[in-house]
Chain A
Amino acid sequence: MFSAFMLHAWIVATLVAVAAGCVGFFVVARRAAFAAHALPLGAFPGAAAASLMGVNEFWGLAGFAVLGVLAIGQLQRAGRREVASALWLASALALGVLLLGLSGRYAQSVYGLLFGDLLGIDTRQMAVVAGFSGLTVALVAWVARPLLLDSLSSELASAAGARAAALEFVFLGILALSTAIAVPVVGALLVFSLMVGPASAARAFTDRPWRSLAVAVGICLATVWSAIALAYVTNWPVGFFVGALSALCYAAGRLRGGTVALAQVA
């Protein structure tokens, strides 16, 4: 399980979990779970296009993730974020269908992007993931306080001097960045489960914001490490365990939240 072959998987999963936990805290706080679903899935056709053209899939993912940020950012000016995310997702998936229709020779690669291919990470990809994970965490640390205030109330943030529209754009940018690095690991379909499940569960364990963020990172780490170990033992896909364990974490968090509430009433 800890052979040289698996070492990359452990390291990359750890890096992705730290970034996903940090970003996930704000995804849940800002009720942006659908955007966290739409951005990676909407970026998937970019990776498919890159694969078709023989370019590194990461750059296709990153390019479409940036396009997604711009599209959602622009579209939500005229309406709600959910509608903007849905419009982007529908457009991107339509393009993805077209790309899939053009050729079937990259089907295996596409499958890997949808469900993740943790064991296929090479040293160069690991370095890219490490760099972008570090950048994601640094950006979250830099923008954390204004983003938290804006999550509480955009009006309060604006009155304090923060620009709410710019903060939303920065948030979507960070989300896109974390998406681009996480998709090759857990796949476009499951990346948002790693952001939403642990961060939602963490809310039940503490009332303090930064502790909640740290707990979210901890649960993310426990999730991906357990997923790799279970996948190794059972030979089942890592993505399945990531999604299932994230959902279990959320259920455990809800259970704890309910228990605490009952204890307070009693």
Chain B
Amino acid sequence: MNAGEAAVALDRVAVTLGERPVLREVSFRLEAEQFCALIGTNGSGKTTLLRAILGFIPVQAGRIDLPAGAIGYVPQKITLDPGLPLRARDVIALGLDGARFGTRLPSKARAVRVQEMLRAVGAEEFAEQRVGTLSGGQQQRVLLAHALVRRPKLLLLDEPLANLDVGSTAEIVALLRRLSHEFGAAVLLSAHDMNPLLPVVDRIVYLANGCAVSGKADEVVRTEVLSRLYGYHVDVLRVHGRVVVIAAGARTESRDALERDPVHTITVP
């Protein structure tokens, strides 16, 4: 995939779960090797959006264009059985051919590929340990290697920084940025706190009220842009290098205008 080519493109995507519209006319485009943070509060539709891209749930309207080949995916925090006899190395190997039926003979090329991934994510030290007994940060590295072992052009990560301490968060973010370049994969990563990601992201997709705004971080994370998205006034403050979004709660004219003329996606060029 060449730079500038779309790794994923959403055009007016709408998703309804049960009776509840979760996403309404969400559009954005992510190019090859771009690192994009999908930001929003709990329940804003981040996971739904990722699951729609993966094809786990149907979209009611709009279209999602994806590149040919595999999509890497790291799901939201999963509880791994510590007793399951499955080493970190085995989990990565399952990323190669875990969905294939039938038996296979041991392959040296396959073992080399797994070893390369262990090295790439810094998991060689605990390669022989059961994956369920690893720490949260170590499990994230293994799952990341599992997702990348087939060299996908698009990597989706659902809240990979949740439940990690500050040190592990910084390590995983730096690792993701490096691997994105090494593997030529576009990354779409959901999080509710954008701060650990701001130094490395190329773009942000900000979700609220089922709507999305996308663009570069300093263009999106602004008082007037997010106030329009939320439908009420919010303040974007910068405190000691961190961005804080504070809701004032007053309904704005822009929200009324939004409901009259539902252009739900705001794209900042």
Contacts and interface: CB of A to CB of B under 8 A. Distances in A.
Contacts, number: 84
Contacts of B81: 29, 31
B85 A159 contact: no
Contacts of A143: 101
A153 interface: yes
Chain B, interface residues (CB within 8 Å), range: 20 to 34
Nearest to B131: A152
A189 interface: no
A160 B99 contact: yes
Chain A, interface residues (CB within 8 Å), range: 20 to 34
Contacts of A203: 83-85
A159 B81 CA distance: 20
Nearest to B129: A207
B229 interface: no
Given A141-B103, A145-B98, A149-B99, A156 B86 contact: no
A155 B73 contact: yes
Interface string A197-220: 000001100111101100000000
Interface stretch (B87-95, B175-183, B186-194): B87-95
A146 B94 CA distance: 8
Nearest to A155: B75
A160 B84 CA distance: 20
Interface string B109-151: 0000000000000000000111100000000000100110000
Interface string A41-54: 00000000000000
Contacts of A152: 80, 84, 86, 91, 94, 131
Contact of B101 (A142, A159, A160, A209): A142
A145 B97 CA distance: 8
With most chain B CB atoms within 10 A of its CB, the pick from A203, A211, A257 is A203
Given A153-B75, A203-B85, A207-B129, A161 B103 contact: no
B98 A162 contact: yes
B139 to A, nearest CB: 11
Given A149-B94, A152-B80, A156-B75, A207 B85 contact: yes
A159 B54 contact: yes
A151 B84 contact: yes
A265 to B, nearest CB: 13
Nearest to A204: B83
Contact of B99 (A141, A146, A206, A207): A146
A155 B75 CA distance: 7
Interface in A136-167: 141-146, 148-149, 151-153, 155-162
Contacts of A207: 85-87, 128-130
Given A141-B103, A153-B75, A160 B85 contact: no
Nearest to B103: A141
Contacts of B167: none
Given A145-B97, A146-B101, A156-B75, A206 B85 contact: yes
Interface in A167-212: 202-203, 206-209, 211-212
A157 B98 contact: yes
B71 interface: yes
A208 B90 contact: yes
B84 A29 contact: yes
A153 B78 contact: yes
A26 B56 CA distance: 24
Contacts of A202: 85
A121 B131 CA distance: 44
A141 B97 CA distance: 14
Contact of B54 (A29, A151, A158): A158
Contacts of A156: 73, 75, 78, 94, 98, 143, 146
B102 interface: yes
B100 interface: yes
Interface of B: 54, 56, 71-73, 75, 78, 80-81, 83-87, 90-91, 94-95, 97-103, 128-131, 143, 146-147
Given A152-B80, A156-B78, A207-B129, 18 more contacts: A31-B81, A142-B103, A145-B94, A145-B99, A146-B99, A148-B86, A148-B98, A153-B75, A155-B78, A156-B75, A156-B146, A158-B56, A159-B147, A160-B98, A203-B83, A203-B85, A206-B85, A208-B90
